[in-house]
């Protein structure tokens, strides 16, 4: 991966996609988690958003490491990098929660043509309902935890990055 594009560090460019897509995937998952009709209508779109975020996070971290190697040692940059390394588990959890919701709804590629739930045939209705309720509760809890955690982590990372980039900017020394 190149370290610059048109003279700008790749990290500075790619973080914008990550900062938009991670909270967008989290918000989308929160909405579909608590609105089943919309969840069935959107099918795999929340999973694709979470997958996109999951792909972007390591790319963003790698480009950040490339930028960090070109800069002098700075504790603010070190803190920013440390926080950045903590985002991947949150986004991975978001992706797992999205998959769990999709699987629990029995979504299949043909579901957009007929959005009704696919049933297991041989299972009793009571057993299927109990399993679905348990999995749904787990998925909702996982979505809530990972959505909040990932957005909070993005904000913390962004704040530390802004501190690292802008510390000392605009100050004048009194002489």
Domain range list for the chain: 4-110+124-166
What tens digit of pLDDT does each residue of 84-111 get?
999 999 999 999 999 988 888 776 666 5
Would you state the pLDDT for residue 27?
A: 96
- Axis crossing angle, helix 125-166 with helix 10-33, rounded to the nearest 10: 150
Q: Is the pLDDT of residue 141 over 80?
A: yes
Q: What is the 3-state secondary structure (H, E, C) of 30-71?
A: HHHHCCHHHHHHHCCHHHHHHHHHHHHHHHHHHHHHHHHHHC
List, in sequence order, every beta strand (DSSP E) within the chain: 4-5, 8-9
26 alpha-carbon distance from chain centroid: 6
What tens digit of pLDDT does each residue of 40-93 get?
788 899 999 999 999 999 999 999 999 999 888 899 999 999 999 999 999 999
Would you state the pLDDT for residue 18?
A: 97
């Amino acid at each position: 991966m190149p370290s610059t594009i048109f003279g700008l560090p790749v990290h500075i460019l790619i973080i914008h996609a990550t900062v938009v897509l991670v909270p967008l995937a989290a918000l989308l998952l929160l909405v579909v988690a608590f609105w089943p009709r919309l969840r069935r209508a959107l099918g795999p779109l929340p999973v694709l958003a979470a997958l996109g975020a999951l792909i972007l996070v390591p790319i963003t971290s790698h480009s950040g490491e490339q930028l960090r190697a070109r800069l002098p040692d700075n504790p603010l940059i070190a803190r920013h990098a440390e926080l950045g390394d903590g985002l991947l588990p949150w986004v991975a959890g978001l992706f797992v929660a999205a998959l769990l919701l999709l699987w629990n709804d029995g979504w299949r590629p043909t579901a957009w043509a007929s959005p009704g739930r696919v049933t297991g045939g041989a299972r009793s209705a009571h057993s299927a309902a109990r399993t679905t309720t348990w999995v749904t509760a787990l998925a909702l809890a996982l979505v809530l935890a990972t959505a909040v955690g990932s957005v909070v982590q993005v904000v913390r990372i962004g704040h530390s990055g802004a501190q690292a980039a802008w510390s000392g900017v605009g100050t004048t020394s009194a002489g």
